[in-house]
Amino acid sequence: MNALTVSDLTVAYGPVRALDGVSFEVASGCVTAVLGANGAGKTTLLRTLSGLVRPSAGVAHLSDRDLLRTPAEEMTRTGLAHVPEGRGVIAELTVRENLRLGVLGARRTGRRRAFDVDRIYDLFPVLGERRDQVAHTLSGGERQMLVIGRALLAEPRILLLDEPSLGLAPRIVAQIFALLRNLVDTEGLTVLLAEQNARSALSIADRGLVLGLGRVVADEPAHVLADDVRVRDAYLGN
């Protein structure tokens, strides 16, 4: 079953088409990696799906919900959580206070919650150790863990992540990606992961989508893309 279906999505900034007729599907309970060089359209795609950018054409449905007609401030109620590039913590608040904001935005599903603050501390022990520490004193990796934890507290059906590896040490990237893969396998979470680090993203993904100048140039199982020398050399840069 598909969690997300996107058809002919087009976004233009003046005469420039950042997305040009993008179509793809994201299966439930899987990781789909969106890959491509800078300027390929990865960030625009995620921002459009989360209601921050309005497209000029196209359709996007999360299960039965029309994402493109949903205001950004209501997006968490549809089951979509977006972690944008840049680790957007509220610097003056503590770790605990930042996480509580995620609880406030949680969907009301009528079932027992899969995530609470204590569960996030179990997933990211360093956040438990720093729960009373203000966010601006955290390392880059700790901030990334915090924004992912806050997003999980909203009980998303699909988690959109934009460049979570940016600026982080390989050891921290491996830790975060392994956790995401585990959540997909054990909790049925669906992840749409926009990344320039193609090797790391494909190592945990089920499927890969490659964008080039706003268009889909490849849409294949992750292991097929990882072995495709032509696509790797032309679009992935490694």
- Phi/psi at 37 (5° precision): -75, 170
Mean per-residue pLDDT over the chain, rounded: 90
Percent of the chain clearing pLDDT 70 (strictly above): 93
The residue-averaged pLDDT of 200-215 equals: 95
Indicate the pLDDT class of residue 111, thresholds 50, 70 and 90: low
Query: Does residue 31 carry a pLDDT above 70?
Result: yes
Residue, of 40 and 110, whose pLDDT is higher: 40
Q: What is the pLDDT of residue 230?
A: 79
Which residue ranges make up each domain of the chain? 2-86+157-236
- Fold (topology level) of 2-86+157-236: Rossmann fold (3.40.50)
- Per-residue pLDDT at 105: 59
